[in-house]
Amino acid sequence: MNASYGMDELLLEVCKLADTKKARVVIKESPKAGAICGASALSVTGALVMAPVGLAPLGLALGGIIGGITAFAFTRNKFKPLSVFIMEDLSKEDRQKLKEHMIKTVKQPYLQFFSTNKKMQKDVLKSVKEFFKKILKLKVVY
């Protein structure tokens, strides 16, 4: 790949490849899970409701279980297609850094080989995955 190629052209090719390989970014939702778990502290309400009938510990346990299950349901399997993440969520600066990272690590002179060269495709995806892990602290799966 040559640095003279436009960033948009290069990133569009990367996005096409990412779509072909069904690459996705794992979206972290720990703040949402924390809020839900914190809300499950309402299990105290369950304990208070059950207290008059002598089942406060059961109300507390049930509230905690329901809060935990709710947090799990809201936060599991949250993925975004890599192509969408690159084009919509990355800042202009991060897209430029991604392009520079790919140019340095792949070291291929011609963009036209990108769509047909399987090794180059593998190297590009590996480079993108490495960039997301090291620079953005996000995980890419495919």
> In the prediction, which pLDDT does 37 show?
57
What are the boundaries of each domain within the chain?
A: 7-27+78-141, 30-75
Residues 6+ apart with CB under 8 A from 89: 80
Angle at 141 between CA 136 and CA 142, to 5 degrees: 140
Question: How sure is the predictor about 109, in pLDDT bands with cuts at 50, 70 and 90?
Answer: low
Q: At residue 67, does pLDDT exceed 60?
A: yes
Q: How far apart are CA 67 and CA 109, in angstroms?
A: 54
Please answer whether residues 126 and 14 qualify as being in contact, where contact means their C-beta atoms are separated by less than 8 angstroms.
Answer: no
Is the model more confident about 120 or about 7? 120
> In the prediction, which pLDDT does 22 show?
92
Q: At residue 75, does pLDDT exceed 50?
A: yes
Please answer whether residues 21 and 125 qualify as being in contact, where contact means their C-beta atoms are separated by less than 8 angstroms.
Answer: yes
Question: How sure is the predictor about 40, in pLDDT bands with cuts at 50, 70 and 90?
Answer: low
DSSP H/E element including 102: helix 92-106
Q: What is the pTM of this model?
A: 0.62
Torsion angle of C-alpha atoms 105, 106, 111, 116, degrees rounded to 10: -150
> In the prediction, which pLDDT does 39 show?
57
